Structure 1
Amino acid sequence: MEMRERNEETKPTRSLIFSYGTLKRGFANHVLMQDLFSANDAVFLGAYSTVADLPLVCGPHGVPFLLNLPGSGRHRIRGELYAVSPRGLARIDELEGITLGHYERLPIQLRAERGVKGDCFGGGGAVVEAEAYYAHRSFAEEMWQRKGKVGFGEYTATEAGEYVRRNARPKERSFLEEIRLFVSSPSSSSS
């Protein structure tokens, strides 16, 4: 899950982070990754997919959540792999609300997408150990139930069309309160 920069044992390790949602290229929060690239705190490594089938759903405000419920999903999740410095990781952790109980960063196994140039981990479908931001365990199962146990394999422009940026969300409740309301409300075909 961590890698040392080549020939420089004194440099800090970089964490391998799998992004499946709004941090991907072309999506709402990718500006953070661009800032990290500029500061040499992140490097794009390529397109990857999960080894396991996992549930990926959208919650309140169209926010994507990967659910740590192996065997529940029907899709290998497609996303992007980044090598991130400790400073960059702290910034992503903050965005993902790690200390607020929104997400938790946990191990994940990945493989490079077929035909992807720049597979830096041996090619040929080698398994890569990384980390991903999963919906916090305190609501993951409820989120899966709320979504009718139906997910998708890739966060695309279709799902992103439902995304509401943070500055446009209601201010009277925390995001965790919004999640609790969302999972406790009856499901509908539009959610």
Structure 2
Amino acid sequence: MGHESNATETITTATKTTTLVFSYGTLKRGFSNHVLMQDLIRSGDASFKGVYQTLDKYPLVCGPYRVPFLLNKPGSGQRVTGELYAVSPRGLSRLDELEGTSRGHYVRQPIRLLKEEGGDDLETEHALSCVVEAYYAHKSYEEELWERNRRRSFGAYTEKEARGYVKRNDRPQHLSFLDHIRIFVSSPCD
């Protein structure tokens, strides 16, 4: 009897500790870092929940090497479309590592989403909105990145925006990610 209740507790805990993560860039299906998401799905540490859009407008811009950044400036930019994943604590720590949250690259903070098929009916839209986590550009360079992109953003990171994306291992290794950003924001616009 005790063994059965223990199994139930484990399941309950696992469900509770799952974090919903909004992916708007290279972690999406068909993009370069999706292999990590596929690994997490295979190991049971992530599951795809659908295509969602941000409730508010946010700037989605490209930085150095066509790396996408979501800027935490609600009300600017456009509503952003991306994918939602439920991720285990182990999966979340792997995503945090990829996104460099401990190194000042990205910060993980809440964002409100709507299910893509939410029609024009506000009642329905309200029912389908949820608060999840997203990786935003770090505050230390967010404003400069917005200015460098001439305050222009896009609603989705598509193949068009990703054209010219350079994988991490193919970038100059003697510079850090933040060095690349500093050089990018201080260089003239194309």
Scaled by the length of structure 2, the TM-score of the pair is 0.88
1:88 counterpart (72, 88, 91)? 91
Structure-1 residue corresponding to 2:124: 124
Q: Deviations over 1:30-74 (max 9, x none)?
A: 00000000100000000000000000000001100000011221x
Q: Distance in 2 between matches of 1:175 and 1:20?
A: 19
Number of aligned pairs?
177
Structure 2: state its 5+ residue gaps.
1-7
* TM superposition shift of 1:115: 6.9
Structure (1 or 2) with the larger CA radius of gyration: 2
Read off the aligned partner of 1:170 and give its amino acid letter: P
Read off the aligned partner of 1:147 and give its amino acid letter: N
Structure-2 residue corresponding to 1:120: none
Q: Distance in 2 between matches of 1:69 and 1:162?
A: 26
Structure-2 residue corresponding to 1:34: 38
Structure-2 residue corresponding to 1:46: 50
Structure-1 residue corresponding to 2:143: 141
Read off the aligned partner of 2:73 and give its amino acid letter: L
Q: Distance in 1 between matches of 2:9 and 2:69?
A: 33
Please list, as runs of the form range in 1=range in 2, the aligned pairs for 1:10-21 lying within 5 A after superposition.
10-11=13-14, 13-21=17-25
Q: Distance in 2 between matches of 1:33 and 1:124?
A: 30
Scaled by the length of structure 1, the TM-score of the pair is 0.88
Runs of 4+ in 1 over 3 A off after TM superposition: none
* TM superposition shift of 1:9: 2.0
Provide the identity percentage: 58
* TM superposition shift of 1:8: 2.8
Residue 106 in 1 paired to residue 109 in 2? yes
* TM superposition shift of 1:124: 2.9
Q: What SS is found at the alignment partner of 1:158?
A: helix
* TM superposition shift of 1:107: 0.3
Alpha carbons of 1:177 and 1:54: their partners in 2 closer, same or farther (altered >3 Å)? same
Q: Distance in 2 between matches of 1:71 and 1:180?
A: 25
Structure-2 residue corresponding to 1:8: 11
Which one has a larger percent helix, Structure 1 or Structure 2? 2
> Pairwise CA RMSD of aligned residues?
2.0
2:28 counterpart (21, 24, 29)? 24
1:151 counterpart (150, 153, 157)? 153
Q: What SS is found at the alignment partner of 2:72?
A: coil
Q: Distance in 1 between matches of 2:39 and 2:80?
A: 25
> Do 2:118 and 2:124's aligned partners in 1 also have CA atoms closer than 8 Å?
no
